[in-house]
Amino acid sequence: MAESLQKRILDTLDSQSTIIDTRQLTIPGESEPASSHDSQIAILGALNSLLSRDMVTYETHEVFSYGLTPEGAQIAKEGSHEARVWSALPVKGQGRPVSPVELKKLVGDETAKVGQGRAFKNGWIGKEGDGLVKVLESIKDTAKLELQEIESTGNLKAGEKVLADLRKRKLILQRKGQWFTVQKGSNFSTSTAKPETDLTADMLTTGTWKTSTFKRYNFDAEGILTSGGTLHPLLKVREEIRTIFLEMGFAEMPTSTFVESAFWCFDALFVPQQHPARELQDTFYISDPPVSLPPEKSYYERVATVHEKGGYGSTGHRAPWSEKESKKLLLRTHTTASSAHMLYKLAARCRGEEPDDDTNEFTHGAKPTTAHGESHAKGYDFRPAKLFSIDRVFRNETMDATHLAEFHQVEGVVADRNLTLADLIGFMRVFFKKMGLEQVRFKPAYNPYTEPSLEIFAFHPTLQKWVEVGNSGMFRPEMLEPMGFPKDVRVHGWGIGLERPTMIRYGINNIRALLGHKVSIESVENSPAVMF
Ligand SMILES: N[C@@H](Cc1ccccc1)C(=O)O
């Protein structure tokens, strides 16, 4: 039907070049011109399809037309109430008159009520005794004819007054209609063959592409919606923690180096070369390349000496020092390796060297502090710094629901003159409060590179119990002084995991769900704003 209508439009245009009024067009399969509302809608569909191929152009004209209400449609089909009353009655003198009660049964209450009055008024029926009879032998049911005309043409020749009356009787409705004037388009042809949507290899080899018509791109069509990506829970929590650090005036350390040397991961931190954490079952070593580039020579020597023989007021480990052990490459076991790197850079000024750009940025242009009768290295130009990092670390652990061989650490270090343990504790309280943990407790602990060291516990308001949340301490002089820091510069640091707060926050109880791919996770909105 749609196809043949398009064809009819094209053929008509071919013979008369313009279709002035589409209401004059006859639709295939119909004998009367297409003046009805529905026909014009069908024509509009055909025109738009032809327009998209530039086969026609058209202008739209608006008209008001009329349509039937359900009641109007019933009358157009079955006749008016008065006509139905009339036909239910016998002709006068030729049968038994029908009583009003009988009439109701014959034509229904409504028709009997409305129709009787009108039929009397028209002079179609009359009384005979107590009953009703036909007065005229034949009648003209004008209402039915008028409604039938409106149904098929959308209008009425009889004119406005009748239309107004039918509207008042709620038999017809006015509706906005359209008709069209159609001209040939730039691609006019009488063929309705569907335009090609793709240029195929076949068309190229057979040469049919030369004569084919191609569908134009529709740049107004809306594209298919792509489902957008979303941040991983670890990234979301990382962003929250990063914000806390930034609010507290911290600068982020560059920590992209997963592969570190044993020197930076352990030696620089005064971790004894014989420490169990360095063993194969705890640390992943790299076999290719197997050794690292050496650190700056004099620093390396100071570190080797403090381990082997001591210094800076320390007796050292008094154990043999192996250069080979120090050069080993490994996957860093903690981000404190990166912190050590940065602290070494930060100490450059104290060593009397030009600091590189990184450290300038980290100290936020803090004013240099001057020594109190301290004569260390060449100069004393130290600037306080607050640094943090959130990044991945690796440990050769047996994996289970709460342990993986790789995870993320959040680490902060603060370097300033004369810092004390009280500064560290005070700082922790502020930091964890910002994470939603108001109550914190500290327990003495041991780290090879901090003294004193503190484990941090917090009362978790959602879990309603004390949970271990981190590890912290004051970095040892054996670590800081070989870097070049004067004695009064103290550095405290702490580390927390990223996975644990994320798991609690998102109600995940298997850590593998966090780094695997098939995970269903509760929305953030439903979770408490407290981590750990
Ligand atoms: N590196 C420690 C955390 C820590 C960082 C800095 C100071 C003290 C402790 C850990 O892996 O748990």
HEC profile of 17-82: CEECCHHHCECCCCCCECCCHHHHHHHHHHHHHHHHCCCEEEEEEEEEEEEECHHHHHHHHHCCHH
ipTM metric: 0.96
Domains of the chain: 2-70+146-210 (3.30.1370.240), 81-140 (1.10.10.10), 236-257+333-524 (3.30.930.10)
Q: Which pairing describes strands 329-331 and 131-134: parallel, antiparallel, or unpaired?
A: unpaired
- Residue 453's Cβ-side half-sphere holds a number of Cα atoms within 13 Å equal to 12
Q: Which of 410, 423, 471 for mutating ligand 1's site (highest number of atoms within 8 Å of CB)? A: 471
- The ligand 1 atom at the shortest distance from the C-alpha of residue 475 is 7
Q: Whose CA is nearest to atom 10 of ligand 1?
A: 495
- The ligand 1 atom at the shortest distance from the C-alpha of residue 409 is 11
Q: Distance, CA 336 to ligand 1 centroid (Å)?
A: 6
Whole-angstrom distance, CA of residue 273 vs CA of residue 284: 16
Binding site membership of 450 for ligand 1 (Cβ less than 6 Å): yes
Q: Distance, CA 332 to ligand 1 centroid (Å)?
A: 13
Point out which residues pair with 59 in neighbouring strands.
181
- The ligand 1 atom at the shortest distance from the C-alpha of residue 471 is 9
Low-confidence ranges of the chain (pLDDT < 70): 1-2, 356-380, 516-532
Q: Whose CA is nearest to atom 8 of ligand 1?
A: 472
Binding site membership of 411 for ligand 1 (Cβ less than 6 Å): yes
Binding site membership of 334 for ligand 1 (Cβ less than 6 Å): yes
Q: Distance, CA 86 to ligand 1 centroid (Å)?
A: 104
User: Which DSSP state fits 319?
Assistant: S
Burial of 426 (0-12, 13-18, 19+ CB in 10 A): exposed
Q: Which pairing describes strands 251-252 and 385-394: parallel, antiparallel, or unpaired?
A: parallel
> Who's near 443: CB < 8 A, 6+ residues apart?
454, 455, 457
Residue for token digits 């981000």? 335
Q: Distance, CA 278 to ligand 1 centroid (Å)?
A: 15
Three-state SS at 146: helix
CA distances from 270 to 241, 308, 317, 351 (A): 29, 10, 9, 19
Q: Whose CA is nearest to atom 9 of ligand 1?
A: 472
- Residue 367's Cβ-side half-sphere holds a number of Cα atoms within 13 Å equal to 2
Cα-based torsion angle of the residue sequence 462, 464, 465, 471 in order, rounded to the nearest 10 degrees: 30
Q: What is the pLDDT of residue 531?
A: 52
Binding site membership of 447 for ligand 1 (Cβ less than 6 Å): yes
- The ligand 1 atom at the shortest distance from the C-alpha of residue 411 is 5
Q: Which of 331, 334, 339 for mutating ligand 1's site (highest number of atoms within 8 Å of CB)? A: 334
For residue 496, give the nearest of 473, 459, 469, 521 by alpha carbon: 469
Q: What is the pLDDT of residue 359?
A: 58
The continuous run of DSSP H or E covering 454 comes out as strand 450-460
Residue for token digits 């009641």? 71
Q: What is the pLDDT of residue 380?
A: 60
Q: Distance, CA 115 to ligand 1 centroid (Å)?
A: 98
Cα-based torsion angle of the residue sequence 423, 426, 432, 438 in order, rounded to the nearest 10 degrees: 170
Q: What is the pLDDT of residue 381?
A: 77
- The ligand 1 atom at the shortest distance from the C-alpha of residue 393 is 11
Q: Which of 278, 335, 336 for mutating ligand 1's site (highest number of atoms within 8 Å of CB)? A: 336
Tokens of 273: 């070369």
Q: What angle do CA 241, 244, 249 make, to 5 degrees?
A: 130
- The ligand 1 atom at the shortest distance from the C-alpha of residue 339 is 6
- The ligand 1 atom at the shortest distance from the C-alpha of residue 333 is 11
Binding site membership of 493 for ligand 1 (Cβ less than 6 Å): yes
- Express each pLDDT in 428-478 by its tens digit: 999 989 988 888 999 999 999 999 999 999 888 777 888 888 999 999 999
CB count in 10 Å sphere of residue 63: 15
Three-state SS at 168: helix
Q: Distance, CA 204 to ligand 1 centroid (Å)?
A: 68
Binding site membership of 471 for ligand 1 (Cβ less than 6 Å): yes
Q: Which of 341, 388, 411 for mutating ligand 1's site (highest number of atoms within 8 Å of CB)? A: 411
For residue 319, give the nearest of 271, 264, 284 by alpha carbon: 271
Whole-angstrom distance, CA of residue 331 vs CA of residue 206: 62
With both helix axes pointing from N to C terminus, report the angle between 109-122 and 81-88 in degrees, rounded to the nearest 10.
Answer: 90
Burial of 21 (0-12, 13-18, 19+ CB in 10 A): middle
Q: Distance, CA 410 to ligand 1 centroid (Å)?
A: 9
Binding site membership of 472 for ligand 1 (Cβ less than 6 Å): yes
Q: Distance, CA 413 to ligand 1 centroid (Å)?
A: 10
Phi-psi region of 288 (alpha: psi -120 to 50; beta: other; left: phi over 0): beta
Q: Distance, CA 339 to ligand 1 centroid (Å)?
A: 10
Binding site membership of 336 for ligand 1 (Cβ less than 6 Å): yes
Whole-angstrom distance, CA of residue 351 vs CA of residue 380: 8
328-357 b/e with 16+ CB inside 10 Å = b? bbbbbbbbbbbbbbbbbbbbbbbbeeebee
Q: Which of 331, 447, 499 for mutating ligand 1's site (highest number of atoms within 8 Å of CB)? A: 447
Task: Quote the longest CA-to-CA distance of the chain.
Answer: 143
Q: What is the pLDDT of residue 423?
A: 95
Q: Distance, CA 246 to ligand 1 centroid (Å)?
A: 20
Tokens of 363: 């100290």
Burial of 174 (0-12, 13-18, 19+ CB in 10 A): exposed
Q: What is the pLDDT of residue 528?
A: 45
User: Which DSSP state fits 404?
Assistant: -
233-242 b/e with 16+ CB inside 10 Å = b? bbeebbebbb
Q: What is the pLDDT of residue 366?
A: 56
Q: Distance, CA 243 to ligand 1 centroid (Å)?
A: 21
CA distances from 266 to 96, 263, 292, 331, 377 (A): 121, 6, 14, 12, 24
Q: Distance, CA 143 to ligand 1 centroid (Å)?
A: 96
Q: Distance, CA 268 to ligand 1 centroid (Å)?
A: 14
